[in-house]
């Protein structure tokens, strides 16, 4: 086993595309759940809304990439309205049921045979992201590999990463600023005690709807960055496991805290990458023993990874709902 190689690859994931995209999506979920207490179990639907808003505008309407970005945001807002309007007046669990169902329905809808003309059906959408890489301020050339100490990324990813991390950090700072504003404090009041907030004359329904839209737009931006990096939109990448991974990341970092989505995402992906790199790099004998005894091979490592996500979510929610760094006073997955 080459530990140096394993560590090198693991460290590179720490600031990689996955960490960035999932951190951004978790910032959105943090607005929903961490600050407002909304149980959104369909965050992947917002990622899909952003991605398809962009892809459909560029390929089907043949409009500019930058208008596509705008439409990605519009689609996310529309989805938030569709999900929020019927459910936000009701008890928290109704939003959970509707979001988990809706995110899966979106996936079925875009991969539907009849929407193929617009959404590309099961094949998805490709060739829409070039303007992003062709902008004149992009200092990186596509074919080159950039290395900084242990970190190494290809030129294409470098540009996505630069833009993505700037967007991520600005979003986190924006959310932090927003949550200390009167608006944000009203959200937290609703999270703590909705009846009390209403008694003080706050329209809780409207605030929750705004929070759902804001977090949804942030999720939509994460979806856009993800498909820009991939260069294609595949409907089946927007599966429910993504949502649950985002939840695991948020609870890992601690809901309701400024930087927790970023830290949670880094911890999660570093652990996963380390585990996978170790399993894939086991000496011959060990990997064969694993294959013979429990049938674990390269082929199903990712299934074990999802099992670990589930187990981690179960144990975290049970024993440390405030996350690793969260404080109990601020957020303890409270009833409401």
Partner 1 sequence: MSGESWRRTLPHPSQRSWLPQPSTRASLVVVLVFGAVLGVLMGAGSAGAQSEDSGPQAIFGQLDYEDVELQEDIAVPGVVIEVDGVGTSETDNNGEFRIEVPGPGSYVVTLDVETLPTGINLRNPENNPLNIEVRESSDQRVLFPLIEGEAGSGGESGGVSFRRVAQLTAEGLKQGLYLAMAAIGLSLIFGTTGLVNFSHSELVTWGMLSTYFFNFYGLAGVIGFLAPLPPPFGGGVNLILAAVLGMLCGAALGYVLNRVVFRSARQAGVSLIAQMVMTIGLSILLRYFFLYLFGGSPRTFGDYAAQRAVSIGPIELTPKDIVAMSLSVVILVAVASYLEMTKMGKAMRAVADNRDLAESTGIDVERVITWVWVSGAALAAISGVFFGLDQVKWDFGFRILLLIFASVTLGGLGKAYGALVGALIVGLAINLSTLVIDAEVKNMVALLILAVILLFRPQGILGQRERIG
Binding of residue 111 to partner 1 (CB under 8 A): yes
Question: Site map for partner 1, 221-240, x if CB under 8 A?
Answer: -------------------x
In angstroms, what is the minimal distance from the CB of 143 to partner 1? Answer: 36
Binding of residue 90 to partner 1 (CB under 8 A): yes
Binding of residue 117 to partner 1 (CB under 8 A): no
Q: Which phi and psi (to 5°) does residue 283 adopt?
A: -60, 155
Closest by CA to 126, choosing from 50, 56, 48, 71, is: 56
In angstroms, what is the minimal distance from the CB of 288 to partner 1? Answer: 14
Binding of residue 268 to partner 1 (CB under 8 A): no
Binding of residue 310 to partner 1 (CB under 8 A): yes
User: Pick from 94, 151, 165, 274: which binds partner 1 (CB under 8 A)?
Assistant: 94
Binding of residue 105 to partner 1 (CB under 8 A): yes
Binding of residue 280 to partner 1 (CB under 8 A): no
Binding of residue 66 to partner 1 (CB under 8 A): no
Binding of residue 102 to partner 1 (CB under 8 A): yes
In angstroms, what is the minimal distance from the CB of 169 to partner 1? Answer: 28
Binding of residue 144 to partner 1 (CB under 8 A): no
Which chain residues interact with partner 1 by CB under 8 A? 39, 41, 85-87, 89-94, 96-98, 100-102, 104-105, 108-109, 111-114, 122, 240-241, 244, 247-248, 251, 293-295, 300, 303-304, 306-307, 309-322, 328-329, 332-336
């Amino acid at each position: 086993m080459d530990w140096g190689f394993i560590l090198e690859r693991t460290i590179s994931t720490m600031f990689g595309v996955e960490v960035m995209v999932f951190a951004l999506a978790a910032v959105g979920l943090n607005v929903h759940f961490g600050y407002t207490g909304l149980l959104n179990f369909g965050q992947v639907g917002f990622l899909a809304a952003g991605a398809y808003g962009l892809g459909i505008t560029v390929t089907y309407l043949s409009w500019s990439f930058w208008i596509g970005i705008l439409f990605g945001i519009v689609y996310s807002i529309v989805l938030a309205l569709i999900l929020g309007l019927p459910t936000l007046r009701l008890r928290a669990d109704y939003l959970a049921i509707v979001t988990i169902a809706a995110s899966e329905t979106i996936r079925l809808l875009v991969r539907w045979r009849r929407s193929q003309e617009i959404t590309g059906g099961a094949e998805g959408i490709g060739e829409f992201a070039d303007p992003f890489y062709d902008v004149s301020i992009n200092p990186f050339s596509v074919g080159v590999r950039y290395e900084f100490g242990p970190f190494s990324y290809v030129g294409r990813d470098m540009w996505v990463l630069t833009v993505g991390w700037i967007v991520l950090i600005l979003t986190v700072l924006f959310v932090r600023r927003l949550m200390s504003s009167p608006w944000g404090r009203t959200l937290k009041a609703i999270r703590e005690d909705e009846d009390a907030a209403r008694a003080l004359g706050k329209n809780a329904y409207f605030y929750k709807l705004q929070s759902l839209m804001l977090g949804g737009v942030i999720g939509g931006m994460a979806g856009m960055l993800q498909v820009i990096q991939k260069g294609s939109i595949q409907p089946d990448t927007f599966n429910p496991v993504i949502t649950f991974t985002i939840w695991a990341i948020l609870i890992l970092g601690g809901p309701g805290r400024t930087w927790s989505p970023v830290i949670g995402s880094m911890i999660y992906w570093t652990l996963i990458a380390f585990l996978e790199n170790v399993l894939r790099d086991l000496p011959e004998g060990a990997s064969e023993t694993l294959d013979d005894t429990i049938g674990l091979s390269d082929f199903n490592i990712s299934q074990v990874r999802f099992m670990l996500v589930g187990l981690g979510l179960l144990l975290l929610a049970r024993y440390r709902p405030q996350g690793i760094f969260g404080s109990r006073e601020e957020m303890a997955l409270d009833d409401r």
